Structure 1
Amino acid sequence: MSYESKNMRLMGGVPGQQLFLYRSTDALADVVASGYFDRAVEEYNLDTGDVILACTGPKNAAAVDLLVATNTAGVVTVVNGS
């Protein structure tokens, strides 16, 4: 599987301090892989310091994790802060 913009919701904030909710049946290991959220840079202005609440796995209920994004020239990496 891969990132789908329909599963991402901006909950609030300002650029650099945005809060998103992301729901996916993808495994957490896939969601935290470097580059998974690259398309969100253009679609949602995802940038360094933004926070993603990720509900992942079967039925979006296997894990709930707090991810912090870093955007380096359009390549997004996340750190699991849970």
Structure 2
Amino acid sequence: MELIQRDEFFRAIDEFLNEVEFIEHSLALRINQKCDEEKNLLLNKVQSTTVHLHHFEKKVSQAKEGGSWISTPFLGRQLAFNI
């Protein structure tokens, strides 16, 4: 009878360890997914900012030639100035 209880105990430990391993694997997948989402979000923001900066540089160059007021989108805002 003691042998059966010992077997049940070890089986319960194995099941518990399998559950822990499954949870660990699931959390690792979620963390990797969240990291990828955050990385892509930041990359999109950097690319968008770069596009706006290139547009801004172009407008500054145009304003230097003509000296007129210009307006350009910059990080979701309008920026106007006279050169």
TM-score normalised by the shorter chain: which range applies? Answer: under 0.3
From the CA coordinates, give the structure whose radius of gyration is larger. 2
Structure richer in strand, relative to its length: 1
Structure richer in helix, relative to its length: 2
TM-score by length of 2: 0.25
